[in-house]
């Protein structure tokens, strides 16, 4: 609910609204992804980039490959540069979340050595 509210506020106030999508399986919502684009001036990473700030799969649907499929689709969309060019995608996750670490690493994300809000930051070059 917090993510949807945050997305709605950004939609009303930002020049480029966040890209929010429900993750569905057979018509049932099983997750959520929220992505954004930053110019080099806006980005804390000093490069034009996309970010995945929310990526969630319902606990009852984890471990079934839905996260892998949804992340592939999200990255496919990002690679079309829907809100502008970019050189990288950034995301973060809790250091104890080994499932997230394995998933993101399998797609080529590399930990930057930085932390943001207690989370590990990872970068994927585009």
The ranges assigned to domains in the chain are 2-125
Pick 102 or 41 by higher pLDDT: 102
Whole-number average pLDDT of the chain: 91
Is 2-125 assigned to CATH 3.30.110.40? no
Can you give the pLDDT at residue 42?
A: 79
pTM of the model: 0.89
Whole-number Å distance between alpha carbons of 58 and 77: 22
């Amino acid at each position: 609910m917090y993510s949807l509210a945050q997305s709605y506020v950004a939609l009303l106030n930002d020049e480029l609204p966040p890209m929010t999508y429900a993750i569905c399986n057979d018509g049932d919502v099983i997750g959520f992804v929220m992505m954004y684009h930053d110019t080099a001036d806006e980005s804390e990473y000093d490069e034009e980039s996309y970010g995945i700030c929310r990526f969630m799969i319902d606990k009852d649907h984890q471990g079934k490959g839905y996260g892998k499929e949804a992340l592939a689709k999200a990255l496919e969309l990002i690679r079309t540069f829907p809100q502008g060019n970019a050189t990288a995608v950034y995301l973060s996750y809790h250091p104890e979340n080994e499932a997230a670490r394995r998933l993101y690493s399998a797609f080529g994300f590399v930990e930057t050595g930085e932390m943001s809000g207690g989370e590990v930051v990872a970068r994927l070059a585009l």
